[in-house]
Amino acid sequence: MYTLISVLIIIASILLILIVLVQNSKGGGLASNFSGSNQVMGVKKTTDFLEKATWTLAVSLMVFSVIASMTIPRGTTEEKSRIEQQVNNAVDPTQMPQFPTSIPEEDAPGNGEGE
């Protein structure tokens, strides 16, 4: 679901960029190309369409962004981070190390073997 919403965000962003680039801030742009009076869509209708398309794409982009933030895949709570696992598995530094208290028979000095 998150991938689908991400693709829709990218498509809406590209369309919004193209429509904004077509417009001219001083009233020209695509509308200035249709200056003939016998056009089906006149200058006024072209600017109205571009403005409505801009607002529609901007609102849809914001809605898609909010929906995407709700559908972000989250990890399960059972998984722990590696740092937390290391802390839990760490040896307690206050414990005394368990050294052997007796010397093994074969390594004991002076037992007479080999001399």
- pLDDT of 2 > 50? The answer is yes
Say which residue the tokens 């073997």 belong to: 113
- Could you report the per-residue pLDDT of 18-47, keeping only the tens digit for each? 998 888 766 555 555 555 544 455 556 777
- Range list of H helices, 1-104: 2-22, 30-33, 43-70, 82-89
What residue type is 30 in one-letter code?
L
- Could you report the per-residue pLDDT of 51-95, keeping only the tens digit for each? 899 999 999 999 999 999 998 877 665 666 788 878 777 777 777
The pLDDT of residue 11 is 95
47 burial level (CB within 10 Å; 0-12, 13-18, 19+): buried
Length of the chain: 115
